Structure 1
């Protein structure tokens, strides 16, 4: 099953949390933090924070979000009324503010992937 891939950044995590809060207002904020961390493969939000702070200024890390890991963590926290299919669709529909590439980097990547012309010197 395919999962959304997003840039690992504070603004993308905030967008994910906002979308989840809008759709599931009954879930506590701290529980969403824990579930979001789980969706990225972290054991806790406390484990996610240092990794996020470390890569935000130095790297463009693309991570896969897994709605089933998010759902499992929410179930562990007592939220059993969430439909897996609805959650999956929500995760795919989120408009993340930080794209994989900024405009400058996207041009550089596109230029590298363009084949060299046969008649070039």
Structure 2
């Protein structure tokens, strides 16, 4: 997958690249398949959304290879080759400047959420906090694009942390985001927050002082866009009351324009 901005220029660039990748298929078929990959029912619905989008500040949508190939198979009367089925939007050769944000890192294959209920709960909490920050336009997945009040520096030259509420699956939470340098963002999030959560959520080791479930992590934005996942989940990164763990791990949430796993950077 890769994140594609909903602009006419970007979608056209991706479409032209796909025409080189799939020279035997009709242009109209590729348009419909690309729309499906971006979670639109038709190419016209994609075009209409683009028309209503601010081209200077577009949303990013993940391009799903399986949806693309499934729709193209419905429209095409030919058999797919192994090369066709190996499509990866991250690895296509786009014209410069590259219109997409890559989301697949070397560490993508290594991360497995299915084996650990704690890691799934951590993942869900982090994704919910990042998604809400993007929705609020406090930041985007673009490198250095921090927009919260005081995101640059305050009058003393200090970086300012931004605290904001969010919700997931009907549960209320609180989150904070700060610039971690090198285009990374440091995020903390808590569910069932304490009365003093707005103060504690800014601390990387707040744990139960912030809420009954606490998570911290980093969003990569320089080499691509993904939630950084280390080999181990430390006690400082995730703390959860036992009776809350299964509920948080069972939540369903997908990342908004970035990967939910990827290489961890020091």
TM-score (norm 1): 0.73
Is 1:14 aligned to residue 51 of structure 2?
no
RMSD over aligned Cα, in angstroms? 2.8
Contact 1:74 1:80 in 2 (8 A): no
Is 1:84 aligned to residue 82 of structure 2?
no
Hey, what does 2:138 align to over in structure 1? none
Listed as ranges, the gaps of 5+ residues in structure 2 are 102-140, 160-266
Within the candidate set 144, 155, 158, 1:116 is matched to 158
Contact 2:2 2:100 in 1 (8 A): no
Quickly say closer, same or farther: Cα 1:20–1:113, change in 2 above 3 A.
same
Distance in 1 between the 2:69 and 2:145 partners?
A: 38
The structure with more strand, counted as a fraction of residues: 2
RCO higher in 1 or 2 (8 Å CA, sep ≥ 6)?
Answer: 1
Distance in 2 between the 1:109 and 1:8 partners?
A: 20
Does the residue aligned with 2:146 lie in a helix, a strand or coil?
Answer: helix
Q: Shift in Å at residue 40 of structure 1?
A: 0.4
The structure with more helix, counted as a fraction of residues: 1
Distance in 2 between the 1:40 and 1:108 partners?
A: 23
> Which shifted more, 20-29 or 91-100?
91-100
Distance in 2 between the 1:29 and 1:48 partners?
A: 15
Q: Shift in Å at residue 107 of structure 1?
A: 5.1
Q: Shift in Å at residue 37 of structure 1?
A: 0.4
Q: In the TM superposition, what are the counterparts of 1:1-121 in structure 2 within 5 Å? A: 3-57=1-55, 59-78=57-76, 79-82=78-81, 83-85=84-86, 87-88=87-88, 91-94=89-92, 95=94, 96-97=98-99, 101=142, 109=146, 112=151, 116=158
